[in-house]
Structure 1
Amino acid sequence: MNGKLHSETGAFSSDDMRAEILNPFVHKLELDNTYDKIKTAIFTVILLPFRVIVICYLIVTAWFLACIGLYGLSEEDLRRKPMTGWRRALKPLICCIGKLSYLAGGMAITVRGRQASRKEAPILVVAPHSSFLDSCIVYATRMSSVIVRKESMDNYVGKLINYTQPVYVWRDDPNSRQNTIKEIIERATSKEDWPQVLIFPEGTCTNRSCLITFKPGGFYPGVPVQPVTIRYPNARDTVTWTWEGPGALKLLWLTLTQVHSSCEIEFLPVYYPSEEEKRDPKLYARNVRDVMAKALGVPVLDYTYDDCRLIARAKHLGIPAAASAREVSELRSQLGLERSQLELHVAAGGVGSARGGAARWVGAEEFCTRLGLPLDHRAQRLFDIFVQRSSGLVYFPDYLLCAAFLSLQHAPLTQLLSYAFKLYETRGPGGRSRGITAAQFEEVATRCLALCQEDAHNTFRQADLDEKGTLTYDEFISYAQKKPEFAFIFTCDTSHHKPKTQ
């Protein structure tokens, strides 16, 4: 695989392969049959303890060697000049031990192609990023320098990461992005023999169904880069770690109880940027992504880390279909709903707030009729995201709340709550609002405030001061303003806030 790539090779469009909208932030993994459950249980008893002991021994050994190699060096020394002499000579040994720790866990690492020298390509661009197990690339690339958050260094493996002479990112530094780019440029263009800089340009984990937007930071130096792909060609995917799916411990447990698993790392030919790409890092990043997507046989989608934050916020608040929020947003845009914001007017028109179970549960045709859409494949996909498998119907208020959340995502949560109250409220003579009942408030609170049913019930009782059995939006807001646990309602960004229990 020794060769050159230029922008003239042509871009790989997502339209070439994309049959439907993908959600790269969801991964489902369950032991769905008795055989798998029994096999996992047996290997948990007879195989897992042995593997854990061996892996821990190897990691401690590598950590000890890293401590020796770093002895007498300060953090400033690591940032000022590359390691030389006996300290650098320890790297191949640490890499060997690192690979053995993966082999001890049952994972064989296969390397294809040739890693370019630093002179040929100062930067290695690695994708897709889908797992904490992707750290094997550090050992496969002879401990290239990684990009790492400084706060991540305050742990047991910090010594091993420090040994790569990483580029640090300080989350609390308002100039962090500019400083990181500056240091990457200095490393990539330095005449000293620094390790290659290793970058995961996606910036977050996906399920490998596509390549999402590449951040341009690693492309600012305008130097040649070597694309590197990672695959996990296993019958059962026990490694993918996304925003919606199994946690790290479950994935590690299931991976270590597999008889065998594989990781394939492929070094693609060095990509040499054109003059236009040197001037435009975003163009450079897009074109490298196209080349890597073509090698992987997957589409490219313009999803970003901000989409992950959107999904995380939706999950925190309990928004229906939170994991598919990005997909819902794109479908609404394609169907013209995003521009018209039709859903924000639905409650006022009575479509979503009709009383009775039959009016709220709708089939595909009624779903499209209410939104003024033809029943095509995009509308059907939007319906399928919210459908209840047991009945084949959609609970229409769930869709309306998700759509309203997307339309009002940059506004204070009070606006979404106001919409939700209108969606559920009953009105008396003259259109005067009578508020919502306890059961209706529980629906609103579990879907917009991440309250459990019991907490929602208690909140309603405390806010219903007159004990009339209904609660208006103004009455709830008046109550919430006096409670510190609801302070997040009145801020514009609730992505990092969860309500406390009552």
Structure 2
Amino acid sequence: MGSDQPKTTVLYDVANSPFIDLGSPFTLWEGVKMALLLPTVPLRLCICVTSIILVAIANSVAIAGCDLSKPLPRWRRRLVEISSQTASGTCLRAVGFWNPRVLNGHHYTKGQQIGAIGIFNHVSYLDAFVVVWAFCCAGVTFNFSKHLPILGYGVRALQNLYVPEHTDRASQQKGMVTLIKERANNPSMPMLSVAPEGTVSNGRCLLSFKTGAFVAGTPVVPILLRYKLAPFNPSWSIIIPAWHLLRLMCQFSNAVTVEMLPPYIPSADEKADPVLYAANIRKLIADALGVPVVDQDRGHFLALVKAGVAVSWDGTRLLAPPGVLDDSGCMDLQPHLLANKAKKQQ
């Protein structure tokens, strides 16, 4: 006679989740800064919008009549670089990153010469601006991004790789691996930079790496994005987006440093095993950043959101529907993870 298997409950520590940040409370001092800087916010937002419009115009001129699957003529590429880096830098400074820095940029140049792929840790909604400001590299993004109003004109000129839509997961991965290999083997095209975590966290750890960027077995250049996480954390965890941006812009100064490590040439074992390759690069980046690795991914983030977990507006408390969290701030995340997994497989 058969019997039901006992249900296994694994409690998830929500307060210490990489998708939760309780380290940036809205204090009295934060309120004072907001009162002082709030009058400057409309002007700075106008500067950002104007920069995006101008880069869209400049990049549209630069790529007019061009086949973007092929290298741009040098003058056109240079126009894209100047306009994109200027606009990205202007936007960063407008939101308070007055002095962004790049360290060891020669490693990036070397990576371009050997057909490497840039690999960076994904922290904030600002990462795209930071990476474009630093290198004007291409990225991997969804197809809809090139059709965004105004911004899409600027995006197309970067010659990104676009994830195929309306295809199954296996076909997507196979198609992207082919595109990544082709891009890596063409040094005349902009260097590709990828965030293998596939989602953002609170910046205090590294999430699981997806293997797509490593299947091709090409060399990589590890890129470290180091944001100042205090007194305000610019990471994109579970936040109230507009309030988060407002708080970001009401800091006297935010800081980010982009640091390159030497190009990493994979061993024969790593070329044959993308899981091993991804794990080794993940450890290398985590050690350089001085942060732990956690075996969590976007599925955990989506499970928390689906369960209704949030952070209070002042950044001090966890919020959740009744019965979701126990007295210690933990929850059973397994049902939500399984539901997300089943939805993916449909």
Please give the per-residue CA displacement for 1:441-460, whole angstroms capped at 9, x wherever unaligned: xxxxxxxxxxxxxxxxxxxx
Counterparts of 2:182 and 2:23, CA distance in 1: 42
- Letter paired with 1:28: L
Counterparts of 1:493 and 1:111, CA distance in 2: 41
Query: Which one is further off, 296-305 or 132-141?
Result: 132-141
Q: 1:31 to 1:305 in 2, by over 3 A?
A: closer
Query: In structure 1, which of residues 297, 302, 305 is the aligned counterpart of residue 298 of structure 2?
Result: 305
1:29-428 aligned at under 5 Å gives the runs: 32-45=26-39, 47-73=40-66, 77-79=67-69, 81-94=70-83, 95-107=85-97, 108-114=99-105, 115-117=108-110, 118-127=112-121, 129-155=122-148, 156-174=150-168, 175-190=171-186, 192-242=187-237, 244=238, 246-315=239-308, 318=321, 320-321=323-324, 384-386=328-330, 402-403=331-332, 406=334, 410=338
1:471-490 aligned at under 5 Å gives the runs: none
The answer for unaligned runs of 5 or more in structure 1 is 1-20, 323-381, 387-401, 413-491, 495-502
The answer for unaligned runs of 5 or more in structure 2 is 1-14, 310-319
2:20 alignment partner in structure 1: 26
Counterparts of 2:23 and 2:165, CA distance in 1: 32
User: Does the Cα contact within 8 Å between 1:206 and 1:241 map onto a contact in 2?
Assistant: yes
1:326 alignment partner in structure 2: none
Q: 1:189 to 1:259 in 2, by over 3 A?
A: same
- Letter paired with 2:72: M
Once the two structures are TM-superposed, the CA of residue 164 in structure 1 deviates from its matched residue by: 0.9
Counterparts of 1:306 and 1:408, CA distance in 2: 9
Counterparts of 2:336 and 2:86, CA distance in 1: 52
Once the two structures are TM-superposed, the CA of residue 270 in structure 1 deviates from its matched residue by: 1.0
User: Secondary structure of the residue that 1:145 maps to in structure 2?
Assistant: coil
Counterparts of 1:113 and 1:178, CA distance in 2: 33
Counterparts of 2:38 and 2:339, CA distance in 1: 48
Once the two structures are TM-superposed, the CA of residue 141 in structure 1 deviates from its matched residue by: 4.0
User: Does the Cα contact within 8 Å between 1:241 and 1:247 map onto a contact in 2?
Assistant: no
1:440 alignment partner in structure 2: none
Once the two structures are TM-superposed, the CA of residue 203 in structure 1 deviates from its matched residue by: 0.1
Which has the larger Rg? Answer: 1
Counterparts of 1:187 and 1:84, CA distance in 2: 17
User: Secondary structure of the residue that 2:139 maps to in structure 1?
Assistant: strand
Counterparts of 1:410 and 1:104, CA distance in 2: 42
Identity %: 26
Counterparts of 1:411 and 1:272, CA distance in 2: 39
Q: 1:161 to 1:298 in 2, by over 3 A?
A: same
Counterparts of 2:248 and 2:52, CA distance in 1: 17
1:441-456 aligned at under 5 Å gives the runs: none
Once the two structures are TM-superposed, the CA of residue 168 in structure 1 deviates from its matched residue by: 0.4
TM-score (norm 2): 0.82
Q: 1:138 to 1:36 in 2, by over 3 A?
A: closer
Please give the per-residue CA displacement for 1:382-439, whole angstroms capped at 9, x wherever unaligned: 86225xxxxxxxxxxxxxxx54x62586479xxxxxxxxxxxxxxxxxxxxxxxxxxx
Please give the per-residue CA displacement for 1:353-389, whole angstroms capped at 9, x wherever unaligned: xxxxxxxxxxxxxxxxxxxxxxxxxxxxx86225xxx
Counterparts of 1:383 and 1:285, CA distance in 2: 37
User: Secondary structure of the residue that 2:294 maps to in structure 1?
Assistant: coil
Q: 1:170 to 1:320 in 2, by over 3 A?
A: farther
Q: 1:135 to 1:254 in 2, by over 3 A?
A: same
User: Secondary structure of the residue that 1:116 maps to in structure 2?
Assistant: helix
User: Does the Cα contact within 8 Å between 1:238 and 1:254 map onto a contact in 2?
Assistant: no
Aligned-pair Cα RMSD in Å: 2.8
Once the two structures are TM-superposed, the CA of residue 260 in structure 1 deviates from its matched residue by: 1.4
TM-score (norm 1): 0.58
User: Does the Cα contact within 8 Å between 1:125 and 1:225 map onto a contact in 2?
Assistant: yes
Q: 1:111 to 1:319 in 2, by over 3 A?
A: farther
User: Does the Cα contact within 8 Å between 1:228 and 1:267 map onto a contact in 2?
Assistant: yes
User: Does the Cα contact within 8 Å between 2:88 and 2:133 map onto a contact in 1?
Assistant: no
Once the two structures are TM-superposed, the CA of residue 90 in structure 1 deviates from its matched residue by: 0.6
User: Secondary structure of the residue that 2:328 maps to in structure 1?
Assistant: helix
User: Does the Cα contact within 8 Å between 2:24 and 2:231 map onto a contact in 1?
Assistant: no
User: Does the Cα contact within 8 Å between 2:24 and 2:233 map onto a contact in 1?
Assistant: no
Q: 1:35 to 1:309 in 2, by over 3 A?
A: closer
Once the two structures are TM-superposed, the CA of residue 91 in structure 1 deviates from its matched residue by: 2.8
Counterparts of 1:206 and 1:233, CA distance in 2: 14
- Letter paired with 1:185: K
- The structure where helix makes up a greater share of residues is 1
Larger RCO (CA within 8 A; separation ≥ 6): 2
- Letter paired with 2:86: C
Counterparts of 1:101 and 1:302, CA distance in 2: 33
